[in-house]
Structure 1
Amino acid sequence: MTGPWLGAVADDLTGACDLADAVSEAGGSAVVVVGQPTAPPPASDCVVVALKSRTAPRELALAESLAAARWLLGAGCTTLYQKYCSTFDSTDEGNIGPVADALVDLLGGADPVAVGTPATPRVGRTVYQGHLFVGRRLLSESPLRDHPLTPMRDPDLVRVLSRQAGGGVALVDRATVTAGPAAVTVALEAARRDGARHVIVDALTDGDLDTLAEALLAMPGRPLVGGAAGLGAALARVSGTAARRSPGDGGAVAARAVPVVPPGRQLILSGSCSARTREQVDGFPGPRVTLSPVDLDTTSPGAVDAVVAAVARAYRDTTGPVLVTSSADPEQVAASEARLGPGRAAALLEAATARIARRAVDTLGVRRLLVAGGETSGAVVRALDLGTLRVGPAAGPGLPWMVPEGGPALALLLKSGNFGDPDLFTTAWRHCP
């Protein structure tokens, strides 16, 4: 059995699925392992360990990331990848920089260095002169500037990373990238000799990412590679992953090969408060049930029972999906936080949504779930006690349907809040396995 060559430590679940989808799109097979792995990795080209470390306390994020990295390296992964968000979601305290420092130390070697970029052109994320763009706008001018957990007000990634990480931060600009892989390798080696511990690289196109990937794979030593789904896909393309052996001759399983999921009901659970998810909620034409943190805090313990009962009633009148939503605009989120205290509203909603998911699967015949929001997705997957997820068909870039391996017969689309077309809640089901 062929072991994975690419091992990724992801700071949230939806980002892990995004990376696995990108590798699959490049022709490789990929699995997502939820939480700290214990068993040997399944046959696959790429294994992504999905943690909940993006906004976790620093020491917890470091401990979990190091444990996952050691497991991946022990499984034979030759390239270690730090997966973070394509919008570099973090605060000035981290956790992207501190985790990168810890993983660089783990890899060791002479003059260890972390090299990466969040650029993912297929979803409109690009980096130029070290500045991150979301579509045509700087990150600081996009809706991400008001993210409730990681407001991104500075688009200069060199500056942001310098506030988080130890050691110098250098930039390889696009003029160097367009000169080819050899020029990038020379620039990376020069930055390392000059004492840089972290290097951000410009990229505007997938071709730029392929150039960087070729340079990284040829680089002496073993650098830590970091980024979003874009660079991970480039590594898969450049490495020749698409020429893998077939399942019949003992190699990794084929890309997007998933277990069969029996027929069942469809449920949408929306916890993201991003502008795109709110647009998707507003455009959904089917029945919906609203989940309020204030109600969860002030009503009887039967609040979740009432929501499940409302969902059951909705299924009597529709054969399509039902939406349970707690998505709210920034003003509503702020009001809930002010009333309930910092973090309590989010905690109540995550716990309730997870219980609703469990009940829907156990008692309402739900077999297909679309979950919006990274924290919400993590809570749902933990409630369903899912371990390893294989990548199935995609409903759009970074939006793969995932099917558990060796677990309950379910299909899940675990959506980052900012991803997907406005009509995703209606159209995603066409691609469901």
Structure 2
Amino acid sequence: MAVDAVIIGLGYVGLPLAQEASRVGKTVLGLDINEGVVADLNAGRSHVDDLSDADIAAMIEAGFEATTDESRIAEAKAVVICVPTPLAEDGGPDLGAVESAVGMVARHIHPGMLVILESTTYPGTTDEVVRPALEAGGLVAGQDFHLVFSPERIDPGNEKFGAKNTPKVVGGHTPACTEAGAAFYGAFVDTVVPTKGTREAETAKLLENTYRHINIALVNEMARFCHELDIDLWDVIEAAKSKPFGFQAFYPGPGVGGHCIPIDPNYLSYNVRARLGYPFRFVELAQEINSGMPAYVVSRAQDILNEEGKALKGSTVLLLGVTYKPNIADQRESPAVPLAKQLAAKGAIVRYHDPHVSTWRAVPEAQRVDDAAAAAGEADLTVLVQSHREYDVDALAQAARTFFDTRGVVTESDKVTRL
């Protein structure tokens, strides 16, 4: 029996996509190399924040199945590649997982198949890396099979926008490929946005996240000099965003994290340098500023303790929230990691609390505490790194000896210093 879609990569991107396709009656097969993930899904257990065990059970009831068997790609009408593309050592994207997935598809491709890449990468990847591998067996993209790039736009933990109601950008190798991709997604996504081709779709994703990266860097740099000039930046932002046009509010923080902002703009910067021989200066400066924020927070923490007559070395510092964004368990590229490591390197005793993280493998030297309020009362300094909804931040600030709010969410208190 033919499968409507095989989705390769069952993480934060692939699994919500599989859910939406299953909901409209498509027969969906999930393919992943992680045997544990496959076993858990087939047993009805979710491993991502945005889907519950009940969601997985409903998918299975609708016909969803997970497998590690790549030969089943041959059954598919469409294949969607949703594998990670981390940064390589040279600053470009590590396409190892993409190349592996494309190799699987190439071994089982057949005439009429729709092949879609969703993994974020540099402009030209679909045409220069994916297409030659798929055409190696003799089939031609745009003639014998359809080839599309459609960037993932999943925002883990976003309760307003998900895979269904986030507009889907679709760029095909040919206009007919674009139409095929649009028809596939149009069955379960509310809005499809076609582009001229694959390169435009690839670049659109990078522009989205570069825009955010640069604007976050802007307010992070403003946070530094506003502190020196005794200006309340949070109040400044509130005033500025009262303008009903021409301004979008961005907020400072202890750094940027997740699978997009710290990584995707670097693909564009790398591509500009590699192909054109000059730097994308906005991106490189933004990266320098944002990656330096954990060190800035450490410096501010040291100053706060000094004002209390204490040295950072030997002081207990409690970090509240160590995930990369609020209300989820995702720790990818979390700025809490370099923050904790730099505190420990300067001799601080680092403890942490996070309702979503039971074991912080990235920072094994940090001790987990169960009671945030009690730990805040014992710590020399408490730093709010991530403002989870489970936290009563005002109560925690009152319980703390000294409280450093890097998110600007605590109301006025004589114990609180804001970033």
**TM-score, with structure 1 as normaliser:** 0.31
Q: Of the two, which has the highest radius of gyration?
A: 2
Higher RCO (Cα < 8 Å, 6 or more apart): 1
